[in-house]
């Protein structure tokens, strides 16, 4: 089998890359370890920056997002039991869209298949070969035990944090940067009416809580917890009691309860691996970087990476120019580090850190107070949250 770009991983990065390449006439094949229902049902974050919304709309992927997604003109920071509104549109002229990552994934899979795209699900033992040569290839085994080889010009490593592509780059050439946080998020999806139209990022003495939603009937809620928290210790009643305790305050905000449809614990880390290119292998999305979810940047960074990568590959095939492929890693990393800084800052601002003393806790509250009372500080938060401009326009 032969194609121009072999893509490993059918998350948002791999799927969108395949679609963007198709639009400029470049062929690709995607190899995905899991089956289609698993990939389409995996619940992840759900906030799309304005630039991500624009990419999806401009490339014909926006129809369902525009009818089912929820446009948010701002967000709420909550501390000492009171809400403080940040108006993104007033501060930046931009907004964000709340639309689940797995819905984006479903939309791109449907479009790729309608366009005759090739996605191989349940590909086992996927391996990248010859990435330092001009003729790389990918091998895998299908679910019946049959072996395959895909010859290609380039390999896109879109296989997430636990994938095989990042480790294919020689360790001596790689530099990894990492921060592991001393907490995780316990997340639930519940059939209950959202308490207000916008998200609430809440700091409480017992830790962070986030109120979010997916639809006007489905609420998404998170609680700061231990990084290795055992979900078995959290009955539905205990989760609701803790959510009421952390999110409700003197202003009588009242969370509506409902059946819990899904619960999980996610550890929190910041991670960047450089460079994002080695020979003919290009990393994109979570395979090269992870952010803590507080800034809602994960999927948006994946979209920005593959947008750059598709442009670089287009220049290679149309103009026979490798310049953009050469600058791919540096260009992506400038945006990634800004998103890393923002995600780290939001995380530091909004979580309870056991190691902080009383003085440091007061400084943290005072920083929140400053952010919500200074237009300059609110604008800084807002312009990062709605997404910084792409640098190659
Ligand atoms: N072979 C084939 N596929 C693999 C392999 C492998 N060895 N390892 C992982 N995969 C697949 C996973 O099953 C998954 O479908 O690669 C895909 C990677 O997708 P994501 O983890 O969603 O990563 P990415 O596309 O970069 O999207 C980043 O996902 O984790 C969130 O917060 C993150 O929103 C961000 C987004
Ligand atoms: C979510 O709705 O899942 C969500 C929203 C905002 C975040 C993280 C997750 O910062």
Q: Which two tokens stand for residue 56?
A: 């999806």
How far from chain centre, in Å, is Cα 46? Answer: 8
- List the CATH number of the domain containing 222: 3.30.9.10
pLDDT at residue number 92? 98
Quote the ligand 2 centre to 336 CA distance (angstroms): 18
Q: Which residues contact 393 (CB under 8 A, 6 or more apart)?
A: none
182 labelled catalytic? no
Q: Report the distance separating Cα 360 and Cα 365, nearest Å.
A: 9
* Whether residue 381 sits in one domain with residue 341: no
Q: Can 351 be counted among the known catalytic residues?
A: no
CA of 11 to the centre of ligand 1 (A): 5
For 74, residues 6+ apart whose C-beta sits below 8 A from its C-beta are 85, 86, 87, 88, 89, 90, 198, 382
Q: What pLDDT is attached to residue 51? A: 97
pLDDT at 237: 96
Q: Is 12 a catalytic residue?
A: no
Do 233 and 374 lie in one domain? The reply is: yes
Q: Does residue 90 form part of some domain?
A: no
User: Pairing relation of β-strands 137-141 and 82-87?
Assistant: unpaired
Pocket of ligand 2 (CB under 6 A): 45-47, 199, 212, 220, 293-294, 296
Are 232 and 305 found together in one domain?
A: no
Q: Does any domain span residue 254?
A: yes
Whether 309 contacts 285, CB under 8 Å: no
* Ligand index nearest the alpha carbon of residue 276: 1
Q: Residues 206-264: pLDDT tens digits?
A: 999 999 999 999 999 999 999 999 999 999 999 999 999 999 877 777 899 999 999 99
Which ligand sits closest to the CA of 283?
1
Q: Are residues 19 and 124 in the same domain?
A: yes
Q: Which of 293, 316, 328, 378 is catalytic?
A: 293
Torsion of CA 106, 110, 116, 117, to 10 degrees: -10
In a domain, 70, yes or no: no
Q: Which ligand is nearest to the CA of 385?
A: 2
Spell out a b/e string for 306-343, using b for 16 or more CB atoms within 10 Å of the CB, else e: bbbbbbbbbbbeeeeeeebbeebbebbbebbeebbebb
Contact 86, 378 (CB under 8 A): yes
What pLDDT sits at residue 305?
98
Cα–Cα distance between 19 and 203 in angstroms, integer? Answer: 40
On whether residue 80 sits in a domain, the answer given is no
The CATH number of the domain holding residue 153 is 3.50.50.60
pLDDT, position 335: 98
Say if residue 189 is in the same domain as residue 250: yes
| Number of domains present in the structure of the chain | 2
Q: Is residue 82 part of a domain?
A: no
- Is residue 75, in this structure, part of any structural domain at all? no
Determine contact, residues 14/288, Cβ cutoff 8 Å.
no
So what's the pLDDT on residue 253? Answer: 79
Closest CA to 251 of 40, 26, 109, 78: 78
d(Cα 303, Cα 273) in Å, to the nearest integer? 17
323-350 vs 375-385: helix axis angle to the nearest 10?
Answer: 130
Extract the residue ranges of the chain whose pLDDT is less than 50: none
Do 170 and 299 fall within a single domain?
A: yes
Per-residue model confidence (pLDDT) at position 378: 98
Same domain? For 246 and 364 the reply is: yes
Q: Which of 296, 76, 87 is nearest to 200 (CA)?
A: 76
Distance 201 CA to ligand 1 centre (A): 26
Model pTM score:
0.97
Two tokens, residue 81 = 């039991």
pLDDT at 393: 56
pLDDT, tens only, 276-297: 999 999 999 999 999 999 999 9
Do 163 and 200 sit in the same domain of this protein?
Answer: no
Whether 323 is in a domain gets the answer yes
Q: What is the pLDDT of residue 249?
A: 78
Q: Are residues 365 and 336 in the same domain?
A: no
Query: d(Cα 235, Cα 240) in Å, to the nearest integer?
Result: 9
In a domain, 141, yes or no: yes
* Domain span at 128: 5-46+100-174+275-350
Q: Indicate if 293 belongs to the active site.
A: yes
- Same domain flag for 23 and 135: yes
DSSP SS3 for 195? coil
Does residue 245 have an active-site annotation? no
Same domain? 285 vs 366: no
């Amino acid at each position: 089998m032969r194609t121009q770009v072999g893509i490993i991983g059918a998350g948002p990065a791999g799927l969108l890359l395949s679609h963007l390449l198709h639009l400029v006439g470049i062929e690709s094949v995607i190899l995905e370890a899991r089956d289609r229902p698993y990939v389409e049902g995996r619940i992840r974050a759900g906030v799309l920056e304005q630039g991500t919304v624009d990419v999806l709309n401009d490339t014909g992927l926006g129809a369902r997002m525009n009818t089912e997604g929820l446009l948010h003109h701002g967000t709420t920071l909550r501390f000492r039991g009171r809400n403080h509104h940040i108006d993104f549109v007033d501060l930046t002229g931009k907004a964000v869209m709340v639309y689940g990552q797995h819905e984006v994934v479903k939309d791109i899979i449907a479009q790729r298949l309608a366009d005759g795209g090739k996605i191989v699900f349940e590909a086992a033992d996927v391996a990248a070969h010859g990435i330092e040569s001009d003729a790389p290839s990918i091998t895998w085994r299908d679910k019946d035990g049959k072996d395959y080889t895909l010859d290609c010009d380039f390999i896109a490593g879109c296989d997430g944090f636990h994938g095989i592509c990042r480790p294919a780059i020689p360790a001596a050439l790689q530099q990894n940067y990492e921060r592991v946080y001393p907490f995780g998020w316990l997340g639930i999806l519940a059939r209950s009416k959202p308490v207000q139209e916008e998200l609430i990022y809440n700091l409480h003495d017992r830790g962070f809580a986030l109120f979010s939603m997916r639809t006007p009937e489905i609420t998404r809620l998170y609680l700061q917890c231990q990084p290795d928290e055992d979900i078995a210790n959290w009955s539905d009643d205990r989760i609701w009691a803790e959510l009421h305790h952390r999110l409700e305050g003197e202003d009588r905000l009242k969370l509506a309860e409902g059946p819990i449809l899904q619960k999980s614990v996610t550890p929190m880390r910041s991670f960047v691996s450089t460079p994002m290119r080695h020979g003919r292998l290009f990393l994109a999305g979570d395979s090269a970087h992870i952010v803590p979810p507080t800034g809602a940047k994960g999927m948006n960074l994946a979209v920005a990476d593959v947008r750059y990568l598709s442009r670089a590959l287009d220049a290679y095939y149309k103009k026979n120019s490798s310049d953009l492929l050469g600058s791919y890693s540096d260009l992506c990393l400038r945006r990634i580090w800004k998103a890393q800084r923002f995600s780290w800052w939001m995380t530091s601002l909004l979580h309870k850190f056991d190691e902080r003393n009383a003085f440091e806790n007061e400084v943290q509250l005072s920083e929140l107070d400053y952010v919500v009372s200074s237009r300059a500080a609110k604008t800084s938060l807002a312009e990062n949250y709605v997404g910084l401009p792409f640098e190659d326009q």
